[in-house]
Amino acid sequence: MEELLPWKELERPIARDYSKSLRGRKPYPLSVMLRIHCMQLFYDLWIPIPIMNSRIEYKINTATTPE
């Protein structure tokens, strides 16, 4: 993967908009996130939207449910 793609050139247009959050958890480095995204595309690794939505709803529901 390192030899196939010009990573620095791909990162350059994204870098200005990538999160530079000073609050909360530090964001992952842009180079890591870009590589993960490309691997997901190369190997067809994705989460279907209905499954992803149900996971988000589950987290919201369990976070708001009193014990």
pLDDT digits (tens, 9 = 90+) for 10-48: 898 888 888 777 788 888 898 988 888 888 888 877 666
Per-residue model confidence (pLDDT) at position 56:
52
Cα–Cα distance for residue pair 42/27, rounded to 1 Å: 23
Per-residue model confidence (pLDDT) at position 22:
79
Sorted by where each begins, the domain ranges of the chain are 7-64
How far, CA to CA in Å, does 9 sit from each of 14, 32, 56? 10, 14, 34
Neighbours of 19 (CB within 10 A): 11
Give the model's confidence band at 49: pLDDT under 50 very low, under 70 low, under 90 confident, else very high: low
CA dihedral 45, 49, 50, 52 (to 10 degrees): 70
Cα–Cα distance for residue pair 8/3, rounded to 1 Å: 12
